[in-house]
Structures are given as structure tokens and as C-alpha cells.
Structure 1
Amino acid sequence: MRIIVIGAVAGGTSAAMKARRNDEKAEIVIYDKGKHISYSGCGMPFYLSGEVEKSSELTPRESGYFELAHEIYIKTEHEVEKIDPKTKTILVKDLKTGEKFTDQYDKLVIATGARARDLLVEGATLPHVFSLRTIEDMFKIDDYLKTHKVENVTVIGSGYVGVELVDSFTKRGMKVTLLEKMEQIIPNLDEEMAQYVRSYLETIGIKIFTGVDVKKITPTSITFHQGEKEHESPSELVLVAIGVKPNTEIASEAGIVLGDSKAIKVNEYLETNIKDIYAAGDCMEAWHMIDKKPLYLPLGSTANKTGRIVGDNITGGKVIFKGVLGTAIFKVFDLSIGQTGKTEKQALKEGLDYLVITHTKPDRPHFMGGQDMIIKALSLKDGTIIGAQIVGHEGVDKRIDIIATTMTLKGKASDLEDMDLAYSPPFATARDPINYTGMILENALKKNRKLISAKELLRPGQTKRVILDIRSPIAFPQSHLDEAINIPQMYVRDNLTKLDKDAEIIVCCLSGWTSNAVQNILLNEGFKDVKNLAGGYVSIANHLRLLKNK
């Protein structure tokens, strides 16, 4: 059997390696139009920041290794120009010589990846304008920084890569401006979670503009509109990070069906509509594990996973791809941001009947240097967990992976509440933030412990309610809502007669935890409609900043 793979990065090499493990006799050839193979694309921002000292750490394997160790033959600087499913052949061009030739396959794996989207404005092709998608891109940016005086950098696009590059350029001593077309940074997050990240970046000195329309790039500046206002910002280097699109032209020309995302549509075995042709990695359209809806979310973890599944299936396996949750994590300076599953805006758009909670807990005890993490979680009304986002400094990776695991196993809020997790003060609190997440959801779902978000609380037109601020007499005068009344927690029981048992009462504290205790007191005393402000005054301050930025 002859296996041909198009693409020699994560998905392609993973497929080839798995195929070789299953079949010693198969002929395996990989074609790639680039010079570098099997590299860590996700590590490139950290090379540019200086955290990864040697580029060779991102490219640990060369073609010779695969040939000598695994008898996998990789032809770099060879571009596949055409696929002919009828004859089971491909047309290949040697980019070094210009020679063209055909090659025959029994099984074909398309792992052509994706490419950076172009910015279509005046000046976008100037030599100081870059994108970061390949190792070659990384070297070009690094070489430019070493040979030119760059004091000001503009990053256009605030997805994962864009935000990581803000970190990279800042660590190299440059002043960075971040531009985003949408009304919030990090569009994959819910707006209030993204606002926590924005506030953090602004305290570091990053200039951020959202709702932006870039108009022109010159060798020393960039011009953009924000509403009716025109801005011109100095910039000796521009990094465009406005997303990617799948490389699927040759697949489409061969009659392979594409999905709505223009990525290759596959079945549960990752086979295309044409027999013996499979797809893996960033050129493939996946689907959401929760509802099986098509999803294009190119991630390195998915590329490796799908490559391995394809490698197994082309050598006789029947491995099923179950879909993705979109689990992701990234770090900017000392802040970590993780997410998995559905966001609230997705749940709203899809008409799901869901519950959402937000709370703040330390990643470990404060006496061990613990810092607060903000956790937002969504469940269906039966308790099934469908999504989460976490912003914090440490321990975000552990918690987001626990929630992703729970979702993969169709777990519920009660499972999070009862989970037996490792505890020692250097690592966690005795009752982990994950346990609290489950408990808050369970209380809201089954014990009438209603929650209200800062967004809902501050929505104009809200009347006939009592906002009970239970913070101390020292904290209350410093910042509070105009209509709030102040009864500190320790005095609530002595002042119950001052409150109307039939009124809607919203209890507020700093972070939402103490207010839950007061909510319990009021409900146990016969008050009928008591809500806890999720996230407390921390969430109010964050929402007010969000409104100001809009």
C-alpha cells in the first residue's frame, strides 16, 4: 500500500507516524511546499519574545530523521498542484527545479493546513507588515527586528496569537498598540471576560482600540477609524493577526466537498466524500462535541489528534472522531486565559435554555501567595456542563482541563461539586474553585439560590427592587450604586424588619461569596425573591469599564 500525505506539519506527520506504527510494509511519502516540517507553530510567539532561545527547539525533526528512523520519505519544497481521484494520482511541482511529475496513491491524506488572512488596505504589502503563520514568517519577523530600528509595533487582531504577540513585542522593549475590528478584544470570549483581560493589559501600558477600521499603513505609521474619529499611530512594524483560512483549493478542484467554513467536510472516520481520501488538521472542518454542529476552530491539539486518527483509519482502523470542545488556553504576561465549550453568546444565539454563573476564588490560599481567578460556567437546566471560561494568574490550566474532562464525559454540576481533587496549600484551597463552581450551579438549579449578573443589574429601566450592599461601612462609601442600602453582613439578622419580604432583593458584596451567605439568611427567614450578584462589585466595576470602552 502506498500512502501519500500532503502537508508535513502537525496533522500530516502525526498521520504518517501512526500509519507506520500500524503497518511496517506501507510506502509512506509526504509532500510539503515549505522548507520546515513538524514544527511547533504555537511556540513561535515565545521565540520572538526571547523565552525560547533557539529556533531549533521548535523544529526538532528534519526529513532525514523520519527517513532513517521510520522509513517515511518527506519531500520539502514540493507543492502538490492537483489531485486526480479517478486515477488516484497527484501532480507535484519541485519548487527548486520547476520540474513537475505525478505520483500514485492508494490512500491520500490532505493535511494542507491554513494560511493567514490578508489585510486588504493601502500599504498592507509594505516590507514591515507581517503575519505569523509559519516558521518562515517567524524568521522574517525576527530578522527584521534585528536589522531595523523598531520602537512602535501595531498588532491588528486580538485573537490568541495577536494577544500573545503583544506580550512578545513588549518583552523586546517595544511600545505596542493593539487594534481590533470587533467591539471587544479576544472575540472568542464573552465580553465581560475579555474586559478583565483588557483592563489587565491597559494597566501594563498597552494601548487598545476596539471597533476599529484600518485605513492605511505607511512605513512609519498606521491610520485607522474608530467610529467617526480618525487616529494616526506611529508604527515601524505591523503584525496582522486577523485569523486564518483553510488551504482547500486543490481539494475543492478535485471534487471534495467543503463545509460552510470552506474547510474539508469529513465523516466520523475523517474520510472525505471521495473514497480513500482523508483530511486532518487545520484544513478540516470539525464539529462541536456537545451538539455535533460543524465547527472550524484550527488548534494544534486538534491537528495532532485528527492526524493520529487518520493514520489509524488508513491502515485498517475504525477510530471515531468525537468532535471538539474548543478547549484552549493562552498566556499574556502573567495572566492566563482558558476556555472550553460554549460561550454565553453562543448559547444565546443558539436558543439554549441555560444557567450561567460567575464567581471569584483564589487559585490557592492567600497565605501561600494565592491570587484570584474569575470563573464563568454554563450548564443546561438539567445540570449538564456546556462551557466555561477562566481568567487568572496560576492554576487556570488545571481547572479548565477538569471542566473539559467533565464535559467530555457528559458530566453535570453535581459532579464538579463532589469531585475529589488534590489539595495542599501550595497548589489549591481545601475546597477547590472547581468544587465551588459545581456548588453554585447546583444551588441555583435546585435550591432557589438565584443569581443576577452585573449586566442585568445595570440594565436601564430596572425598578421596584432593593439592592442590599452588605460590605463594611468603610468600603461602602468608597464605591456603591446610588440606590443601594448598606447593612453590613454582621448586622443583617438584626435589621430584617427594615426589608420587605415581598420585594425583589439583590444582595451585593465584593466578590459574590459573602452575599450568598446573606441570601441564605433571607431565604430561610421567608423572603421570597432574593438574588445574589454574581461576582459582586468586582463584576460591576468590570462591566462599567466595558461600557466605557464601548
Structure 2
Amino acid sequence: MKKRVLVIGAVAGGATFASQLRMLDDKIEIIVFEKNATMAFANCGLPYYLGGFVKQQDHLIAATPQSFQKDRNIEVRIQHEVIAIDRDQKKITIQDHIKDTRYDETYDSLVLSPGVTPVVPQIEGLSHANCYTLRAYEDMLKIDEYVEEKPESSVCIVGAGFIGLEMAENFKARGLTVHLVQRAGHVLNMLDVELANTIEDELKEQGIHLYTDTTIDKVDQNGTTLHLANGKIIEADFLLLAVGVKPNKQLAEQSKLDIGETGGVKVNRYMQTNDPSVYAIGDVIETIDFITGSPKRVPLAWVAHRQAYVAARHIASEPIEFKGALGTAICKVFDVTGALLGHNEKSLREKNISFKTVSHESKQHAGYYPGAEKLMIKVHFSPKDGKIYGAQIVGKDGVDKRIDIIATAVSAGLTVFDLQEIEIAYSPVYSSPKDPINMIGYKAMK
């Protein structure tokens, strides 16, 4: 009998897994269930459609149920929500929201990729406000409709992580007045403070009203007057909540799958849960920190895609291990880019890890060539053997190149001292004879 694999979730993790498994096995039966009306959309592209940089909605959709069936022989059932898992009988119960019916399907292997849900903070009077989150394709459509109807409105973004910062730029591009409220002492709190300061300067220069080290305490009944914990009052027509996400682990908990210490579904290096027939991938799981080996949740696209491939290989009997996540991430904030991987000062201190730090500030290419801009690099490493624990880079150009070099170095087991030996392509247009990456290695030797 043909092997049957069922997949819960049809966005980054689930759709990628199904595609990878089909490439490895052209006979296996694959059915994907998605509770929403859209599959395989570019979640990371949602802010840029709202900012007008992506002109057409359908450019964000990588596949449809029809294309999956035609091109890959994979059945996708949208608006079909899996509401229960019976591990003993190896079956799931599905609610068909189109026909309003309920039915069961059996599996040989089951893959969970339900993603995450935005966190909604506890704010007095929040129900009075016009609030949005941005996680699903449908969220984007609702926000876009509102901005189209009220193009001169004002917005308060709650949270200055990746989504909050990206949306500050994109709302500004749409002509909105933007307020940005951050609970922590600085934006993008995965960065150390001096690098975050550069991003904050850029936000203010671009006309973003920034409020750090505070929260919204109360929303008045009019829904637009916001009282901050620091005593200030903001007027905003609507709110975008971007304070974080939590894994959609309800199904896993109901079926008694193990939950890890970080709150994600616990898996092994092959993406199996404590039930060998049930796999989990993507934002819903607790994964492994590549640097420390400790449990970690990393809701990022590259990680989900890699885990999808690992799970597909295991089910196809061609196993490889997931080696862990660095958490390599990058964010454009107007004309400045911030990037990071691994651990910052706060994280290392919390884990009681002894570390040294080396920093370098220079131009991203030869100073005499037009367009030279400041580039700041900061690397934390082990004083014992030079193992790289974390890196952060902020600048206007060349940030992505340098963070990717360091990510490659860490993945290959190179130390901070080895960075001086990396032979980087040099031209005055792109770098210096000793690239900033090389300089980090030289400085670390001291």
C-alpha cells in the first residue's frame, strides 16, 4: 500500500516540506491541510506590499492548491482546519470550513507546521481601539484596505522588533504618521545598545515618533487616545501590535506531544516528536542553538525551510541531522541595515558564559570612492579558543555581505582569529585591502 503523509499547515514549513518530499519520492501520497484561504505566501514580504514596494498581491503567493496538484501531484485543502490528532489510531480530525463538515483522515506520518500566533498585550481599553496584527496574508489585506480608505491616518506600532521596524518604514512610505512604542530600553533589543542607537537615530531622522522604555497603559473610549506608562499621550487612528509571537502548540498539547522548556514543540535532530510517526517543523518547535547546543526557538524563514528538508529526508529514508540554528537575521530600516546572529551581551551574561568582545568601525569600502558610509561590527567570542558566540553589524551598505561571511565562518567551525585569513574580493567599490571582517580577526588577536 502507498505510504501516506499528512501535513498540517501550508505556508513556509508545510509547503516546503511537501515539495521536498515529492522531489525525494514520486509515489508517496501527500495531503496538506491549511485552515486559512491562502497557502505558500511570502510572509516576510507582507510589509513591503503594504509599503507599496511590492505592487501586486499575487506576487507574494508562491503556489496555489491548483499549481501544487498539477506540478507536484500534492493535494492541498485550504480552509480545512485540523482540530484533533488521535495518535493511537494514527488519524486526524478535520473541520471543513467551506462545507461546514467534519471528517477523519489516517496517516503513516504526520507533519505539524501550524506556525505561530501574534501576542496581544494586556492593555486597558484595548478593545476600544482599531487594532491589527500582521502574520497572515489576510491580515495584510485588512490593513491595506484600511490605509486605502484613510490614507492620511496615523498609526501606533507597539513593538520595535523586526516587524515593528519594517512596518515603521512601510507605513511612512504610505504617507502615515508613525508612532513606535518599545517596552525595552532600545529598539531591536537583540542588538547591543550602541548598535541599536544608530537605528534609533535613523528612525528619528526619518520622522518616526519613537518612545522607548515604555508601554501603552490605557486606551481611551474614543479608541485613538493612548496613554503611555511614561506619562505621555499619543493620538493614533489605529494600532499595529508587533510585540512577538507564540507557537500554535494546542494540537500538540492535546495529543500529549512533549513541549520543550522554551514553549515550542520538542523534536529531535530529525524533526521527530516523542511520537516517531509525528514530526514538527518551523516556528512551532523548540530547536537547537548551533552555538551552545541549548534549546532555542527561532521563528525565521531559513530555519523553517531547512527543517522541512530534514524532515522530508528522514521520511524518505535518507536521513540527515538538523545541526541547529544561529538565528541569523537582517532588517532594513530606511537607509540603515541591522544584522545579527548568535548571542548578544545580555544573552551571554544570562547564560553565565565568559566572553570577550571585539568591535570595529570603518567605511564599508574605500573612503576615497563615492558612497563610503560608516559600518559598525561587533563580535563576541570565547577567550579560551576564539569560538564566535555572536555578531552584530549596522550600516548603510555591505551589512548583508559581512553577516553572511561570519555565519559561514561559524557554521564551518572557524574562530574569530580565522577571520583575518579569509580572502575577500577586493575593489575600492566594494571593500578595502583588509576588509572590516579581516580587521575583526586582527583586533581579536590583541
> Where do 4+ consecutive residues of structure 1 move more than 6 Å?
none
Structure 1 residue 147 displacement after superposition: 1.3
Secondary structure, in 3 states, of the residue corresponding to 2:126? coil
Q: For 1:385-424, what aligned pairs fall within 5 Å after superposition?
A: 385-424=388-427
Q: CA–CA distance in 1 between the matches of 2:367 and 2:66?
A: 52
Which residue is 2:229 aligned to?
225
Aligned residue in 1 for 2:435: 432
Q: Provide the residue aligned with 1:356 in structure 2.
A: 357
Following superposition of structure 1 onto structure 2, how do residues 146-545 of structure 1 map, counting pairs within 5 Å? Answer: 146-217=148-219, 218-226=222-230, 230-368=231-369, 369-381=371-383, 382-443=385-446
8 Å Cα contact 1:150/1:236 also seen in 2: no
Which one scores higher on RCO, CA 8 angstroms, separation ≥ 6? 2
Cα displacement (A) at 1:350: 1.6
Residue of structure 2 equivalent to 1:476: none
Q: Which residue of 2 aligns with 1:118?
A: 120
Distance 1:385 1:231 in 2: 42
Q: Could you tell me whether the CA contact under 8 Å between 2:217 and 2:228 is conserved in 1?
A: yes
Aligned residues of 1:371 and 1:392 also touching (Cα < 8 A): yes
Q: CA deviation at 1:220?
A: 2.5
Please tell me whether the aligned partners of residues 151 and 175 of structure 2 are also in contact (alpha carbons under 8 angstroms).
no
Match of 2:36 among 30, 34, 42: 34
Shift in Å, 1:126: 4.6
CA deviation vs aligned residue, 1:397-418 (integer Å, no higher than 9, x gap) = 0100101111111111221001
Q: Deviations over 1:82-101 (max 9, x none)?
A: 00110000000001222000
C-alpha separation in 1, matches of 2:251 and 2:175: 42
Residue number in structure 1 paired with 2:143: 141
* SS of equivalent residue, structure 2 residue 229: strand
Give deviations 1:310-337, integer Å, cap 9, x for gaps: 1111111211000001100010101010
Deviation of the 1:149 alpha carbon: 4.9
Size of the aligned set, in residue pairs, is: 440
The Cα shift of 1:180 comes to: 0.9
1:15 to 10, 14, 17: 17
Structure 1 position 188, deviation (Å): 1.3
Structure 1 residues 91 and 177 mapped into 2: Cα distance closer, same or farther (>3 Å)?
A: same
CA distance in 1, matches of 2:308, 2:70: 21
Contact 2:151 2:176 in 1 (8 A): no
8 A Cα contact 1:341 1:404, kept in partner: no
AA aligned opposite 1:347: L
Cα deviation digits, residues 6-43 of structure 1 (max 9, x gap): 00001001111111111111110000101111111001
Pairwise CA distance, 1:244: 0.3
TM-aligned CA distance change 1:126 to 1:30, over 3 Å: farther
Amino acid at match of 2:53: E
Determine the C-alpha separation between the residues in 2 that align with 1:317 and 1:262: 29
CA distance in structure 2 between the partners assigned to 1:164 and 1:221 by the alignment: 24
The answer to whether the 8 Å contact 2:375/2:396 transfers is yes
Alpha-carbon distance in 2 for matches of 1:148, 1:123:
23
What percent of counterpart residues are identical? Answer: 33
Moved more, 413-422 or 120-129: 120-129
Name the CA distance, whole Å, in 2 between partners of 1:359 and 1:270.
Answer: 39
Structure 1 residue 127 displacement after superposition = 6.4
SS in 2 for 1:69: helix
- Can you give the 5+ residue segments of structure 1 that lack an aligned partner in the other structure? 444-550
SS of the equivalent of 1:406 reads helix
**Distance in 2, Cα, partners of 1:344 & 1:290:** 15
Aligned equivalents of 1:186 and 1:427: distance in 2?
27
Structure 2 residue aligned with 1:543: none
CA distance in 2, matches of 1:47, 1:125: 27
In the alignment, residue 235 of structure 1 is paired with which amino acid? A
Range 77-86 or range 306-315, more displaced: 306-315
Alpha-carbon distance in 2 for matches of 1:222, 1:144 = 20
In structure 2, give the amino acid aligned to 1:168.
Answer: N
User: Within 1, Cα distance between the matches of 2:128 and 2:96?
Assistant: 29
Inter-partner Cα distance in structure 2 for 1:102 and 1:124: 39
What is the TM-score of this pair, normalised by structure 1? 0.78
Q: TM-score, normalised by structure 2?
A: 0.96
SS of the counterpart of 2:169? helix
How much does 1:219 deviate? 2.9
More off after superposition, 377-386 vs 24-33: 377-386
Q: Aligned residue for 1:101?
A: 103
Distance across 1 between alignment mates of 2:191 and 2:185? 12
Distance in 2, Cα, partners of 1:193 & 1:371: 15
